[in-house]
Amino acid sequence: MSAIPVLLAEELREVEARAAAGGESLMRKAGRAVAEAARAMAADTGDAILVVAGPGNNGGDAWVAAAHLLEGFHRVVVLDAAGTAPKAPEAREARAAFESHGGTVAREWPAGLRPALVVDGLLGVGLARDVDPAFHAIVERMGRARAPILAIDVPSGLDSRTGRARGIAVRADRTLTFLAEKPGLRTRDGPDHCGRIDCDDLGMGAEAARAAKGALLTPATVRAWLAPRRRNSHKGDFGTLAVVGGNRGMVGAAILAARAGLLAGAGRVYVALLGADAPAVDPAQPELMLRTLDDALAADVIVAGPGAGRSPSSTSPSVFERTSLPALLARPVPLVLDADALNAIAFDPALQRALAERKSPTLLTPHPAEAGRLLGESAAQVQDDRLAAALALAKRFRAHVVLKGAGSLCAFPDGRWAVNATGNPGLAAAGSGDVLAGIIGAMLCQGLEPDRALAYAVCAHGAAADACVERGDGPVGLTASEVAREARAVINRWTASAAAAEGGR
């Protein structure tokens, strides 16, 4: 399956401009698609469908949809939130047709109406500030309607780029978005406001794909990247992964990453634990080889940082920072930097220079607070524009970056990026990031290019958590160890599916 494009507002405008050159208008196509979706969602109660039409193109789509619904013999009421004639000619024509056929237009929320469905066409992708007070009240009223909500393009009040709810945002049951996906639907507050997301490219899919630097990560798009294993294989074919970390009191972080790497397919896994009290063997996973830092430096791929032991508030460098991390940065092999490795780099300009000057692939796995330290910003500033933060890190350090969180964002040194569609709140637990780092390392060991290794691992990690929740093991109380074991099952299902698809061609 080809990549699913995700577009920013400026890229959407380019596609819209090309569409305006000929053929049926996008607004007519979108309005018709909304009407079809509304028919499928509306409860068969005999009550009216309430269409909320705002002042922009989103409202224009709503007017076209209302006219189509009325023609289909639905009872329809339009709440005209703008109070002025629609700007687009297609919308003006649709309003005239709606009124001429007896459609009801209201300027205030209709008293006593218990709608079968609310169609949200109030605000669209162009929202760049907090919702105005008058529209704020309408969004609140939609939430109290006790009816399913269909959002046109983006739930009103949600920033389509950042996923930030601008003061207030509609909580839709379904979002029908157009031309391409938008990052804000999938990250930060977006997953809590969009409900089911469907995309209609309105016949402009090829144009959207050409314009997009962003893509949506789904199992269908990534599962074929990891080839099925040949019967004539040996462990050397799948690389040696080393995990460096696990200082005193934090051994579990490194062990989790190493176990995840083993379960995700690395041929063999070394663990270089930094604490003086380090065990000699992992009794639960004796296949792991507990080795020295020198052994780790000889591995094909290195994951550094889980439980390495630097507090963000510490002022004195640890042994890991003074000796281990510089040696790791100097190794000409793929390097995954997680957790305390990122914190150490954030407070040391020399380490930052060494990171930026690396020639071999580097992959960074920060959460928002770690990303903020690397960028000299707060976690809140990072969250205000997660995509910008991820892209800035990728550019500054010439690295492949995943900014973890709801809708994890992957950013690559060439300016491409992707947003993940898998995962759930069960991943908001200690050790989840360590497991992700180990899976990334395993994908690199198995020969995936760095961008694909990162994206595949992020998607598989989320899909594993989703599978756990589907069978009742979460999200509350889901553990990182459970996710690591389920990731093995996910990866094997994907590779078997890819093999079956290849065999059927």
* Residue 6, SS3 per DSSP: strand
pLDDT tens track for 491-503: 999 999 877 777 6
Fold classified for 4-212: Rossmann fold (3.40.50)
How far is it, in rounded angstroms, from Cα 483 to Cα 465? 6
pLDDT value of residue 314: 61
pLDDT of residue 455: 98
Residue range 397-439, pLDDT digits in tens: 999 999 999 999 999 999 999 999 999 999 999 999 999 999 9
pLDDT for 277 equals 79
The pLDDT value recorded for residue 417 is 98
Residue written as token pair 């889901």: 478
All residue ranges of the chain with pLDDT < 50 are: none
Length of the chain in residues, anyone? Answer: 505
Q: What count of other Cβ atoms lies within 10 Å of the Cβ of residue 196?
A: 11
Closest CA to 405 of 158, 189, 125: 189
Cβ atoms 123, 135 nearer than 8 A: yes
**Predicted local distance difference test score (pLDDT) of residue 21:** 74
What pLDDT is recorded for position 278? 84
Residue spans in the chain of domains classed CATH 3.40.1190.20: 235-503
Distance CA 491, CA 260 (A): 12
The string of pLDDT tens digits covering residues 301-320 is 999 999 998 655 566 677 78
H-assigned helices in 72-204: 89-100, 133-143, 183-186, 190-193
According to DSSP H, which parts of 72-189 are helical? 89-100, 133-143, 183-186
What is the reported pLDDT for 128? 87
- Nearest-angstrom CA–CA distance, 164 and 160: 8
User: What pLDDT does residue 263 have?
Assistant: 98
Q: How much is the pLDDT for 313?
A: 57
Q: Which letter does DSSP use for residue 181 in this model?
A: B
CATH 3.40.50.10260 residue ranges of the chain are 4-212
Residues 6 or more apart whose CB falls under 8 angstroms from that of 160 comprise: 9, 124, 125, 127, 153, 154, 182, 183, 184, 185
pLDDT of residue 503: 67
**Predicted local distance difference test score (pLDDT) of residue 400:** 98
- pLDDT score at 45: 66
Supply φ then ψ for residue 407, to 5 degrees.
Answer: 70, 65
Q: How far apart are alpha carbons 82 and 434 in whole angstroms? A: 50
The C-alpha angle 136, 138, 143, rounded to 5 degrees, equals 100
| Amino acid 321: pLDDT | 83
Q: Which CATH architecture has domain 235-503?
A: 3-Layer(aba) Sandwich (3.40)
> 369 exposed, middle or buried (CB, 10 Å; 0-12, 13-18, 19+)?
middle
Write the DSSP symbol of residue 323.
I
How confident is the model at residue 498, as a pLDDT? 78
